[in-house]
């Protein structure tokens, strides 16, 4: 229970550890009522540390210390100090062996940090600071050691005993117990330690590396999930091959294991040789997982696998460098996913996440740079800024250097720093050294928070045939940072002629039209630039920030005509989509607060009609283009948003489109019916997506044909994408009887599958029809709901507050009070989840005052709770500005 303010940790106060650990010898005795952990460390003074007489300081959290011995000799009570957070031993020799025995209670660990139990299985989560909940240890990533781990447990309840590296010994013990010993030859920080013990079945496969080594691949799951591992295994093999081909990185142990765990705070974890996954991020079958889930699983499996090099072989010096491994690894997994499917669609998805959620974070009270300078609780810094903006910062280096030099840079980085704990600066330095480019200004991307804004203006001189483009860069103030310097921004652009042709970009007048490029990456380094393009007798239409070449906002006064033109002509698929989004945003915004009956832009309807009818277009892109901008994005774009008004305006546009395009929607639905077996190809995924979009639009206007199609699809579907598409459409319609019937049938059929029940909760909690507060409260009383399971909490409480915006922002404040109440309740059992769940409330300053003041009151209610965790304390106090 917290009585004082948690400490702030600062990057500027980083010092090297006074002691290093070479080897860790662990012995776990696992029992039903607890676990005893014997740990023997070989410790030596760090020659790089100036503190020659420093006491040995080990971190610990919620541990019962049973024994501590130095060089085999037990220490008496006065020979060490235990503070509750640390174990301190003064006067230690230069080199020694330290033995620590602790008693912990995994069965009572509801925080899901350290060693805990999930459906009868022992498992660990040590990143970032969970290892200290297992034993006393210098729990910081720059202390890297070789681990040997012996696990002892009851053989009947825990036949499978896993840890990092290779199994080197196993045998039986007395009383029906047994043991397995694991040895990991690679030195690693404690956050990469992993252990699993339980009654699991294994699915095996193998992979032959480029150099001809055979790797044993295994996925461990509960017996009922044995049939849901194929997709993850296939994804893993694709990722392994891809990393060899694209980064020259081979796997380095003889065995690679994945374990699926139902109770998990995050998506997955890259423990060396033993990745642990949230079940929802690894298990899939045609009957139970949507196309989206299949794609997500492929990318998460790849992400965790890629960490083996970007994170494990080369790790972080301290947690301020978190984006070193996360930003780089997200960049790697996103390029991988682009290569496995449609690069344009993947780019649209990444840009949507950035613009909707990361920009909002960067404009909110928790805004921080990609390399933060200070934190209280590190688990609050596993953010979209660290991951997604961090990935963009790596991507822009790739753009600036080009693929060959980037690869040279990554080769140098891995080679130079293999086995080390390093900084984001070391990464940039390797890129500089390999390419010969100066990235000193570029480093500001790591240091300055806030989303740069580019204001673009242009003029055309028809006599001279010159087109001038002026780009001004500003970066908004963020907490603790003002007066920012201009950043180095790669800005990709093209110019289009009147017939949609790509115009040659002749910049200095010397190059001729033949040799001039049709697309160019301008490098912005100053607050203001003007670029001139020659040989342009007619005024071109600019296509700006192609491929979303930098995570910035672009302001340019496009006319609706220009947007319609770009939607159908831009050679860059990303910008075609973006033009459609901008047009839709403009149309919706102009309806916010407008009187009923205001005309809805006919050009939007016609543009969508063209999209729906043209089967020669890339259908995956069409499926994306048909998605209207989300409420969350519209809110992010608005100043002082009035949520109800935005919701209403968007709904009006949707209804108008659906009414005007009814025939086309029905035709699109039938044209995209997929005959034959379920396939996971980009084509069939796009068809299902289009078909489900058509269905959902038809039900928005309560169309009877649409209803019949939905009911039929729901009953006949042979896969979860179609079943869920139909269910979602019915749930979001006014056909109350069909909705309840489908929900009941769905639950009856899938109640034994937790991952499907989570989807069933989400589809209701996100619906403005079926997810009003009384119904959400009823979901919390449902027998399948479980306050100890993060996935269930996220699928009801998280989805309601994050995706059902009209209901959450009910003007009476009931949504806010609901969230505050649940966050307080959760803080006692799982502070990490509580601190994440509170996010929507932290944005109170952005909203129209009627909303904002109620949001603030709910935050204050949380602030005044007694015994606030450090996690929640930091988020709530920072967002209240206290």
The residue among 308 and 713 lying less far from ligand 7MF, judged by its C-beta, is 308
- 3-state class (DSSP) for residue 467: strand
Return the residue nearest ligand 7MF (CB atom).
Answer: 382
Residue 328 CB, nearest approach to ligand 7MF (Å): 11
- When binding is defined by CB under 6 A, the residue of 145, 257, 300, 770 that contacts ligand 7MF is 300
Rounded-to-integer distance, Cα 816 and Cα 852, Å: 10
Q: Which does 738 bind (CB under 5 to 8 A by kind): ligand 7MF, Zn ion, none?
A: none
User: Does an H or E element contain 790, and which?
Assistant: helix 790-793
Tell me the number of residues near Zn ion by CB under 5 A.
2
Q: Which does 382 bind (CB under 5 to 8 A by kind): Zn ion, ligand 7MF, none?
A: ligand 7MF
Rounded-to-integer distance, Cα 826 and Cα 206, Å: 42
Residue 673 CB, nearest approach to Zn ion (Å): 39
The residue among 266 and 621 lying less far from ligand 7MF, judged by its C-beta, is 266
Rounded-to-integer distance, Cα 444 and Cα 441, Å: 6
Q: Which does 298 bind (CB under 5 to 8 A by kind): ligand 7MF, Zn ion, none?
A: none
In sequence order, which ranges of 513-572 are alpha helices (DSSP H)?
Answer: 560-569
Rounded-to-integer distance, Cα 803 and Cα 821, Å: 18
Residue 269 CB, nearest approach to ligand 7MF (Å): 5
What is the contact mask toward Zn ion in residues 307 to 326, using x (rule: CB under 5 A)? -------------------x
Q: Which does 152 bind (CB under 5 to 8 A by kind): ligand 7MF, Zn ion, none?
A: none
User: Does an H or E element contain 10, and which?
Assistant: strand 9-10
- When binding is defined by CB under 6 A, the residue of 116, 147, 387, 669 that contacts ligand 7MF is 387
Packing angle, helices 602-613 and 662-671, rounded to 10: 20
Residue 834 CB, nearest approach to ligand 7MF (Å): 14
- Note whether 382 binds ligand 7MF by CB under 6 A: yes
The residue among 147 and 818 lying less far from ligand 7MF, judged by its C-beta, is 147
- Note whether 305 binds ligand 7MF by CB under 6 A: no
Q: Which does 68 bind (CB under 5 to 8 A by kind): Zn ion, ligand 7MF, none?
A: none
- Note whether 277 binds ligand 7MF by CB under 6 A: no
Q: Segment near Zn ion (CB under 5 A), from 327-335, 572-580, 582-590, 618-626?
A: 327-335
Residue 364 CB, nearest approach to ligand 7MF (Å): 18
Task: Please report, for residues 242, 275, 298, the alpha-carbon distance to residue 238 in angstroms, rounded to integers and kept in the order given.
Answer: 6, 16, 9
Compute the CA torsion angle 147, 150, 156, 157 (nearest 10 deg): -50
Q: How many angstroms separate the most distant Cα atoms in the chain?
A: 95
Residue 145 CB, nearest approach to Zn ion (Å): 21
Residue 171 and residue 205 in contact, taking contact as beta carbons nearer than 8 Å: no
- Note whether 304 binds ligand 7MF by CB under 6 A: yes
Which residue spans within 393-510 are E strands per DSSP? Answer: 421-422, 453-461, 466-474, 489-496, 502-503
Residue 260 and residue 220 in contact, taking contact as beta carbons nearer than 8 Å: yes
Mention every residue, 6+ apart, whose C-beta is less than 8 A from residue 599: none
Residue 68 and residue 39 in contact, taking contact as beta carbons nearer than 8 Å: no
- Note whether 326 binds ligand 7MF by CB under 6 A: yes
Provide Rg for the chain, Cα atoms: 28
Q: Segment near ligand 7MF (CB under 6 A), from 138-146, 241-249, 302-310, 401-409?
A: 302-310
The residue among 45 and 794 lying less far from ligand 7MF, judged by its C-beta, is 794
The catalytic position among 270, 304, 326, 758 is 304
The residue among 40 and 842 lying less far from ligand 7MF, judged by its C-beta, is 842
User: What's the first-to-final CA gap in the chain, in angstroms?
Assistant: 20
- Note whether 306 binds ligand 7MF by CB under 6 A: no
- Note whether 377 binds ligand 7MF by CB under 6 A: no
The residue among 34 and 267 lying less far from ligand 7MF, judged by its C-beta, is 267
Task: Please report, for residues 20, 72, 135, the alpha-carbon distance to residue 54 in angstroms, rounded to integers and kept in the order given.
Answer: 12, 21, 21
Task: Please report, for residues 716, 763, 771, 791, 792, the alpha-carbon distance to residue 760 in angstroms, rounded to integers and kept in the order given.
Answer: 18, 5, 12, 12, 10
Q: Which does 143 bind (CB under 5 to 8 A by kind): ligand 7MF, Zn ion, none?
A: none
Residue 271 CB, nearest approach to ligand 7MF (Å): 9
Mention every residue, 6+ apart, whose C-beta is less than 8 A from residue 578: 351, 548
Residue 300 CB, nearest approach to ligand 7MF (Å): 4
Residue 384 CB, nearest approach to ligand 7MF (Å): 9
Packing angle, helices 704-716 and 662-671, rounded to 10: 20
Instruction: Give the number of other Cβ atoms within 10 Å of residue 6's Cβ.
Output: 16
The residue among 304 and 570 lying less far from Zn ion, judged by its C-beta, is 304
Q: Within positions 328 to 357, which residues make up the interface with ligand 7MF, using CB under 6 A?
A: 330
The residue among 326 and 432 lying less far from Zn ion, judged by its C-beta, is 326
- Note whether 378 binds ligand 7MF by CB under 6 A: no
Is 601 catalytic? The answer is no
The residue among 220 and 382 lying less far from ligand 7MF, judged by its C-beta, is 382
Task: Please report, for residues 308, 511, 532, the alpha-carbon distance to residue 508 in angstroms, rounded to integers and kept in the order given.
Answer: 47, 7, 7
The residue among 322 and 563 lying less far from ligand 7MF, judged by its C-beta, is 322
The residue among 299 and 451 lying less far from ligand 7MF, judged by its C-beta, is 299
Q: Which does 127 bind (CB under 5 to 8 A by kind): Zn ion, ligand 7MF, none?
A: ligand 7MF
Chain length of the chain: 882
The residue among 380 and 879 lying less far from Zn ion, judged by its C-beta, is 380
- Note whether 303 binds ligand 7MF by CB under 6 A: yes
- Note whether 267 binds ligand 7MF by CB under 6 A: yes
Tell me the number of residues near ligand 7MF by CB under 6 A.
14
Query: Burial letters for 596-624: b for 16+ Cβ neighbours within 10 Å, e otherwise?
Result: eeeebbeebbebbeebbeeeeebbbbbbb
Residue 728 and residue 722 in contact, taking contact as beta carbons nearer than 8 Å: no
Half-sphere exposure of residue 776, counting CA atoms within 13 Å on the CB side? 29
DSSP structure class, residue 497 = -
Rounded-to-integer distance, Cα 125 and Cα 122, Å: 11
Residue 822 CB, nearest approach to ligand 7MF (Å): 20
Residue 828 CB, nearest approach to ligand 7MF (Å): 21
Residue 46 and residue 20 in contact, taking contact as beta carbons nearer than 8 Å: yes
- Note whether 264 binds ligand 7MF by CB under 6 A: no
Residue 152 and residue 169 in contact, taking contact as beta carbons nearer than 8 Å: no
Rounded-to-integer distance, Cα 777 and Cα 818, Å: 9
Residue 602 CB, nearest approach to ligand 7MF (Å): 41
- Note whether 59 binds ligand 7MF by CB under 6 A: no
Q: Segment near ligand 7MF (CB under 6 A), from 242-250, 267-275, 473-481, 634-642?
A: 267-275
The residue among 184 and 326 lying less far from ligand 7MF, judged by its C-beta, is 326
Residue 372 and residue 381 in contact, taking contact as beta carbons nearer than 8 Å: yes
Task: Please report, for residues 2, 35, 788, the alpha-carbon distance to residue 104 in angstroms, rounded to integers and kept in the order given.
Answer: 21, 5, 19
Q: Which does 330 bind (CB under 5 to 8 A by kind): Zn ion, ligand 7MF, none?
A: ligand 7MF
- Note whether 242 binds ligand 7MF by CB under 6 A: no
Q: Segment near ligand 7MF (CB under 6 A), from 20-28, 170-178, 260-268, 482-490?
A: 260-268
Instruction: Indicate which residues carry an active-site annotation.
Output: 304
Q: Which residues of this chain interact with Zn ion, rule CB under 5 A?
A: 326, 329
Q: Which residues of this chain interact with ligand 7MF, rule CB under 6 A?
A: 127, 266-270, 300, 303-304, 307, 326, 330, 382, 387
């Amino acid at each position: 229970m917290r009585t004082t303010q948690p400490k702030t940790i600062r990057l500027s106060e980083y010092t090297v550890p006074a002691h290093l650990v070479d080897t860790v010898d662990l012995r776990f005795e696992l029992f039903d009522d607890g676990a005893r952990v014997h740990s023997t460390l070989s410790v030596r003074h760090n020659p790089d540390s100036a503190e020659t007489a420093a006491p040995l300081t080990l971190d610990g959290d919620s541990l019962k210390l049973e024994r501590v011995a130095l060089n085999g000799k037990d220490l008496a009570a006065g020979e060490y100090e235990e503070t509750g957070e640390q174990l301190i031993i003064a006067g230690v020799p230069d080199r020694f062996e330290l033995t620590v025995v602790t008693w912990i209670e995994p069965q009572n660990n509801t925080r899901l940090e350290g060693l805990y139990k999930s459906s009868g299985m022992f498992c660990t989560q040590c990143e970032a600071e969970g290892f200290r909940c297992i034993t006393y240890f210098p729990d910081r990533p720059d202390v890297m050691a070789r681990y040997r781990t012996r696990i002892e447990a009851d053989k009947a309840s825990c036949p499978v005993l896993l840890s990092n590296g290779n199994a080197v010994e196993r045998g039986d013990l007395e009383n029906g117990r047994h043991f397995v010993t694991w040895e990991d030859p690679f030195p690693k920080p404690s956050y990469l330690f992993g252990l699993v013990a339980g009654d699991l079945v294994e699915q095996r496969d193998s992979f032959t590396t480029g150099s001809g080594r055979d790797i044993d691949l295994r996925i461990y799951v509960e017996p009922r999930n044995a049939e849901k591992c194929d997709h993850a295994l296939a994804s893993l093999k694709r990722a392994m091959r891809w990393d060899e081909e694209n980064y020259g990185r081979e796997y380095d142990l003889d065995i690679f294991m994945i374990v699926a765990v139902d109770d998990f705070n995050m998506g997955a974890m890259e423990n060396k040789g033993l990745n642990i996954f949230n079940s929802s991020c690894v298990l899939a079958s045609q009957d139970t997982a949507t196309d989206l889930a299949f794609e997500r699983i492929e990318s998460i499996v790849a992400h965790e696998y890629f960490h083996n090099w970007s994170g494990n072989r080369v790790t972080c010096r301290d947690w301020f460098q978190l984006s070193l491994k996360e930003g780089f690894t997200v960049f790697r997994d996103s390029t991988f996913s682009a290569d496995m499917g449609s690069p344009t669609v993947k780019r649209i998805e990444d840009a949507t996440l950035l613009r909707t959620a990361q920009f909002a974070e960067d404009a909110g009270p928790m805004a921080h740079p990609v390399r933060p300078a200070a934190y209280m609780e590190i688990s609050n810094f596993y953010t979209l800024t660290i991951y997604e903006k961090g990935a963009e910062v790596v991507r822009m280096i790739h753009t600036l250097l080009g693929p060959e030099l980037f690869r040279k840079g990554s080769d140098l980085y891995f080679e130079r720093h293999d086995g080390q704990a390093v900084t984001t600066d070391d990464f940039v330095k390797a890129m500089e050294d390999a390419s010969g480019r100066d990235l000193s200004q570029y480093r500001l991307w790591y240091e300055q928070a806030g989303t740069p804004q580019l204001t673009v203006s242009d003029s055309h001189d028809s006599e001279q045939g010159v087109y001038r483009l002026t780009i001004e860069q500003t970066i908004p103030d963020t907490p603790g940072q003002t007066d920012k310097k201009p950043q180095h921004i790669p800005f990709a652009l093209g110019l289009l002629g009147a017939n949609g042709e790509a115009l040659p970009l002749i910049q200095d007048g010397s190059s001729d039209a033949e040799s001039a490029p049709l697309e160019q990456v301008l490098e912005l380094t100053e607050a203001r630039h003007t670029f001139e393009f020659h040989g342009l007798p007619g005024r071109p239409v600019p296509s700006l920030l192609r491929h979303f070449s930098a995570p910035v906002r672009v302001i340019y006064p496009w006319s609706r005509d220009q947007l319609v033109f770009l939607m159908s002509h831009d050679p860059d698929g990303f910008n075609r989509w973006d033009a459609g989004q901008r047009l839709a945003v403009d149309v919706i915004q102009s309806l916010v607060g407008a009187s009923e009956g205001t005309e809805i832009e006919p050009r939007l309807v016609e543009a969508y009609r063209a999209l729906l009818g043209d089967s020669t277009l890339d259908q995956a892109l069409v499926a994306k283009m048909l998605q209207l901008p989300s409420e969350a994005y519209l809110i992010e774009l608005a100043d002082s948003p009035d949520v109800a008004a935005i919701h209403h305006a968007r709904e009006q546009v949707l209804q108008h489109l659906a009414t005007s395009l009814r025939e086309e929607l029905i035709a699109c639905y039938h044209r995209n019916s997929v005959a034959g077996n379920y396939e996971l190809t980009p084509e069939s995924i796009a068809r299902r997506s289009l078909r489900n979009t058509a269905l959902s639009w038809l039900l928005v206007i309560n169309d009877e044909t649409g209803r019949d199609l939905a009911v039929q699809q729901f009953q006949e579907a042979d896969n979860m994408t179609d079943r869920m598409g139909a269910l979602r459409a019915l749930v979001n319609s006014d056909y109350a009887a069909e909705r309840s019937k489908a929900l009941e049938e769905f639950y009856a059929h899938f109640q034994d599958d937790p991952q499907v029940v989570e989807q069933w909760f989400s589809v209701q909690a996100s619906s403005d029809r079926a997810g009003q507060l009384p119904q959400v409260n009823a979901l919390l009383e449902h027998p399948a709901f479980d306050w100890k399971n993060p996935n269930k909490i996220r699928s009801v409480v998280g989805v309601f507050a994050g995706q059902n915006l009209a209901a959450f922002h009910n003007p009476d404040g009931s949504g806010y009070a609901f969230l505050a109440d649940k966050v307080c309740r959760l803080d006692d059992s799982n502070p990490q989840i509580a601190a994440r769940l509170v996010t929507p409330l932290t944005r109170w300053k952005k909203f129209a005052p009627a909303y904002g003041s109620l949001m603030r009151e709910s935050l204050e209610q949380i602030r005044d709770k007694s015994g606030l965790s450090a996690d929640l304390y930091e988020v709530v106090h920072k967002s209240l500005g206290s």
